[in-house]
Amino acid sequence: MATENKNLSHYDKSQIPNGENLKIGLVVSEWNQEITENLYTGALNALLDCGVGKENIFRWNVPGSFELPFGCKKMITSEPVDAIVAIGSVIRGETSHFDYVCSATARGIMELNVQTNVPVVFCVLTDDTIQQSRDRSGGKHGNKGTEAAIAAIKMASLGKQL
């Protein structure tokens, strides 16, 4: 596996643009809340660590990962954000529902990136087991929320430069 023995949460702050003047949205799925709250915490802490003011971080909740693209789309039109992190967790079950939700969510977020000028960072864990999700949301592989927040700062800064 690609993340075996790797912690995804390490970043060199000197290599990250200052987030002081950025406004970042976090759209968080309520489904698999243990995981999504861990991802949210990782993202929030990284944003604050890189200079984004608490008043410039907007959080909206949606019921599940399938609803993330709609929540992100509405945030783009309602809040003055420079980037959004879409936070979700889909854990494989016994049916093909997992495949449909993962595919639709990824496609919806990708379409927002193509159709709008606000970057939307994909922070949706798509794991086979709850343990894999725990490992990637603050466990032995770090926190994907942290990684996504750093990507959001980089993309928002790029957007302001261009």
pLDDT in tens, the chain (162 residues): 455 556 657 888 899 999 999 999 999 999 999 999 999 999 999 999 999 999 999 999 999 999 999 999 999 999 999 999 999 999 998 888 888 999 999 999 999 999 999 999 999 999 999 999 999 999 999 999 999 999 999 999 998 888
Domain 22-161, classified CATH 3.40.50.970, yes or no: no
CA–CA gap between residue 53 and residue 79 (Å, rounded): 15
3-state secondary structure of 5: coil
Q: Is 10 a catalytic residue?
A: no
Cα-flanking dihedrals φ and ψ of residue 114, to 5°? -80, -35
Please say whether the beta carbons of 83 and 21 come within 8 A. Answer: no
- What's the pTM? 0.94
- Residue in 66, 72, 69, 51 with CA at minimum distance from that of residue 149: 51
The active-site residue, picked from 74, 97, 140, 160, is 97
CA–CA gap between residue 11 and residue 60 (Å, rounded): 26
The one-letter amino acid at 6? K
CA–CA gap between residue 89 and residue 32 (Å, rounded): 6
Token pair in block for residue 84? 């959004």
What's the DSSP call for residue 17?
P
Q: Is the dihedral of CA 72, 147, 149, 63 positive or negative?
A: positive
- Residue in 125, 27, 122, 117 with CA at minimum distance from that of residue 71: 27
